[in-house]
Amino acid sequence: MLAALNPIAVRLGGLEIHWYGVIIACGVLLAVYLAMKEAARRGVAEDHILNLVLWALPFALIGARLYYVAFEWPYYAAHPGEIIAIWHGGIAIYGALIASVIVFLVYCRAKWLPAWLILDIAAPTVMIAQAIGRWGNFMNQEAYGAKTTLAFLKGLHLPAFIIQQMNIAGAYRQPTFLYESAWNVAGFILIMSVRHHRDWFKQGEVLLSYVMWYSFGRFFVEGMRTDSLYLMPGLRVSQLLSIVLFVAAVGLWVYRRRQDIPWYLDGNKLANL
């Protein structure tokens, strides 16, 4: 039987570098590279992407932590010293996304950039970063689902190292990290394959496609997880937010379709002014 994978990538004296951080960093770097290439094609200076990332990353981390703390407040109210102890776990991707969008909007307003276009450029790259990042959860043996059987996991034709990593506390678990990662990879491939078709997307619709795709899949994956945040018994925070985001994205798509809005491929019309 294979042993569980070591979550520590490198030890340098007393410093430990976790695979979780390495994998997240790889996802971010790939996202930044892809966004910079697309920005140049859409008439947006690549420096703006770098600036946005430098501003968004710390706020995304803060947002992810605050989101988690807010919905686990009874515990943190009793243990306030744990609020900043992010190394003990407890971050939420929706909190990071909300904080990042706010940073993007503020930056675009300050720099006179078309916010919908910038968000369109970033959206599919965020999706692939999320897909990669879930493998950090895999290394930490977290974000898993209910108990299952070895026969079920073998029936999915998974490699042995994944099956063994899903043996947690003496029981096999549903690999919900993998379900979400695969869903995001499929969404990334789909959006990247069609977003350059002429007159398919108005500005903002690539972003809305991402929101609809991600929230739809997250609703079902969240229902399988055992570590969800709850508003009340039976009502998972991420599932409720997924419904709200999906409905809002559909509504915005329908509304904006009727408006005189530039096409995504028109890019930044202010670039040459």
Alpha helices per DSSP H over 17-114? 19-41, 46-70, 73-78, 93-111
Q: Provide the token pair at 170.
A: 């003496």
- Encode the chain (273 residues) as per-residue pLDDT tens digits: 556 788 888 888 778 888 888 999 999 999 999 999 999 999 999 999 999 989 988 898 888 888 888 877 787 787 787 777 776 667 788 888 899 999 999 999 998 999 999 999 999 999 999 999 999 999 989 889 999 999 999 999 999 999 999 999 889 999 999 999 999 999 999 999 999 998 899 999 999 999 999 999 999 999 999 888 887 788 888 899 999 999 999 999 999 998 889 999 988 876 554
pLDDT value of position 253: 94
Distance CA(13)–CA(82), nearest Å, equals 25
- Chain centre distance of CA 99: 12
Q: Determine the pLDDT at residue 163.
A: 94
171: CB partners within 8 A, 6+ apart: 147
